[in-house]
Structure 1
């Protein structure tokens, strides 16, 4: 975990997600379509890294497959003035915990 970038596990995130927290999924579109946390918005990592300032002043959680890409994205968002938290364990951990999953491309 980065000193400046907070991380939470899937269990903690699951409690927050139920309260309608904004979630950015940084996986590629085909990965996102194969199964994602309901309500997640797909913004691939490359797009986040290309313009992290678009998240300045925003609070959000960031998720990927297992936590590596989300941590990298959250670090970039926070460096640009955002307030991002990475979800350790990612979508894989979310699914393994038996949580709800949506399939298909972003609307």
Structure 2
């Protein structure tokens, strides 16, 4: 029986990953940067410019949004530590997307490297 970690390892063997040292360039060159974490994770901080499409609805959202349907889009995917992103990248590859990569180490590695983090601004009602 396979574990979640087995599935992630198998996915990582079949996808492209960019290490955090080179992630800035991949993010700049991406047509779409997708954070596949849950909305509350995204709200706590995310890579600037990322859109939030949780892993559980990713394929459905891409299939129902005409702007995200072209298979030649350059997509960069990340999650917290890169497991969900690896599974997502493999799924998008299976859907026919031609240029998909995942950020090795995910958001945690990005933030630990001191790269910019966007956080929503809460209104001040005082």
Query: For residues 75 and 55 of structure 1, do their structure 2 counterparts lie closer, same or farther at Cα, with a shift above 3 Å needed?
Result: farther
The answer for the alignment partner of 1:13 in structure 2 is 23
**Contact 2:35 2:52 survives alignment (8 Å):** yes
After TM superposition, give the deviation of residue 2 of structure 1 in Å. Answer: 2.3
Residues 1:27 and 2:37 are matched in the alignment: yes
- Structure 1 regions of 5+ residues with no counterpart? none
RMSD of aligned alpha carbons: 1.9
**Contact 1:62 1:86 survives alignment (8 Å):** yes
1:91 to 103, 107, 121: 107
TM-score (norm 1): 0.85
Deviations 1:27-84, CA, capped at 9 Å, x for gaps: 0000000010000010000011446656550220000001000000000001001121
1:81 to 77, 96, 117: 96
- Which protein is richer in helix relative to its size? 2
After TM superposition, give the deviation of residue 15 of structure 1 in Å. Answer: 2.5
Between Structure 1 and Structure 2, how many residues are aligned? 103
**Contact 2:53 2:61 survives alignment (8 Å):** no
The runs of 4+ residues in structure 1 deviating greater than 6 Å are none
Bigger CA radius of gyration: 2
Residues 1:2 and 2:16 are matched in the alignment: no
